[in-house]
Amino acid sequence: MDLNFTEAELAFRAEARRFFRTEVPDSIRTKLRDGEHLTKDDMVTSQRILNARGWATVNWPVEWGGQPWSPVEVYMYQDEMQLAYVPSPIAFNVSMVGAVIAQFGSEEQKHRFLPRAANADDFWCQGFSEPGSGSDLASLRTRAERRGGKYIVNGQKIWTTLAQYADWIFCLVRTDPAAKKQEGISFILIDMKTPGITIRPIVTIDGGREVNEVFFDDVEVPAENLVGQENKGWDYAKFLLGNERTGIARVGASKAKVARIKQLAAMERSDDRPLIEDPGFREKLAAVEVELKALEMTQLRVVSDERKRENKGRPNPASSILKLSGSMIQQRLTELVMEVVGPYMMPYQPPEEGQNESAFGPDYAAAAGPAYFNTRKVSIYGGSNEIQRNIIAKAILGL
C-alpha cells in the first residue's frame, strides 16, 4: 500500500478529526480517556451521533447504511475516532450481529433489525461462550429444538458482556446433536424479554459488573429468527469473529494511550524527577511504540486485502495477527500506566451516593487500577491468544 496520502484522503482525515472532537460530548470522551466505565446512555448517545452522520455502520453494505470508503479512509476513520476517545459503535450491534444479518440474513430480517441496530434502538449482546465452551466454542451444548414454527432453547451462556442492558441476544445453539460439532450449530436471534431467560451478573476483579451468566429454560423463539440456514451457524460465527478480531487491535486507542502515558510521565513528582526522564522507562515505552507501528502497518494490509477479496463471507486469517499483537500491546500499555501511577494504583471504590470523593491520589489515578485488571481479558475474548497462534500456524504458515 502507498503510504503517501492524497490531498483528498488528508482532507477526509481532517474532517473526521473535527467531527469526532466537536460533535461527541466531552463528558463521554473524558470518561473513555480516563478508563471509566461508560453507561448505557453514554454508548447510545455516542452511537446515535455517529449514525446521524452515517458513520455508525461503515462496514455494512451501502444499501443498509455502509460507506463506499477506500481502505485508507476506513483506517483514518477508525484511527481518528480512537485518538479522540470517541466510543466505537456498539460492537454487538454493528460489527457482530448487524454485519452477520447484512451478509446472511433474510430481507425481512434486514428490514426488521438493521435500522434499529444502527441507531441503538435495540441493544444487542452476544451469546457464544458457555461453561466449558469458550476457546473451544464448537463444543457448546445450548440446544434449540425445532417444534413446528418455533425453537425451544435450553442451556446456559457465560461471560455475556452487557446482557443487563440488552434487548436482544444473538446466540449459537446446537440444532443437530448427532452431527459433527461444527456442523450442528445454528445462529439464532432471541428477544431478551422472552419468558424463561434469567440474567445473573458476574463481578469481575476490577469491581465491574459488565459480564453475566444467561440461562435459557424452555425459551420459545420464532423460527423466522434463525439467521441463514439451520446448522450453518459455525460459518456465520467465523465471519463474525473475523470482524471482532480486527477491531480488537485498537491501534488508534493504543496510540492515544501512548500519548497519555507520555503526558502523565512528564509531570513533576514530589519525591523524584519526572518518570519520563528515566532511561529504563523510556526504553520500555519506545519498544511498545515500535511494535505499535508494526501493528498499524499490518492493519492497513488487512483492511486493504478485505476490500479486494472476492469471498467476503470467509474471515481473513490475518485478523488473528491483529488480535494477538493488539491485545498484547494494550496490556503492556496498562503496565506502563501502572509504573507512572505507582502506589496510586491501590484499589479504588467509587463513593456511595451523597458521599465525598475518596480517591487515593490524583484524579487520573482513580481508574488506573481497575483498567489494568480489566485489560487482562483482552487476550481471552474474541478467541484466546493461544487459539490465535493455532490459526496463524495453520491458515497462514501452513504448519
Round to whole Å and give the CA distance between 327 and 244: 12
**Do the beta carbons of residue 71 and residue 304 sit within 8 Å?**
yes
Q: How far apart are CA 265 and CA 50, in angstroms?
A: 33
Give backbone dihedrals phi and psi of 146, rounded to 5 degrees, phi first. -75, 125
Q: Contact at 8 Å (CB) between 34 and 45?
A: no
Separation of alpha carbons 282 and 285, rounded Å: 5
| Measured distance CA(380)–CA(239) in Å, rounded | 18
* DSSP class per residue in 258-306: HHHHHHHHTS--SSSS-GGG-HHHHHHHHHHHHHHHHHHHHHHHHHHHH
Nearest Cα to Cα of residue 379 among 342, 302, 312, 326: 326
Task: Determine the residue type at 190.
Answer: I
Q: Which of 169, 166, 160 is nearest to 200 (CA)?
A: 160
Contact 47, 38 (CB under 8 A): no
386 belongs to the catalytic site: no
Identified catalytic residue from 73, 230, 244, 306: 244
Nearest-angstrom CA–CA distance, 156 and 40:
24
Residue partners of 248: CB distance under 8 A and separation at least 6: 322, 323, 326, 327, 378, 381, 382
β-pair partners for 233: none
Residues 113 and 105 sit within 8 Å (Cβ to Cβ): yes
Active site positions, annotated: 244
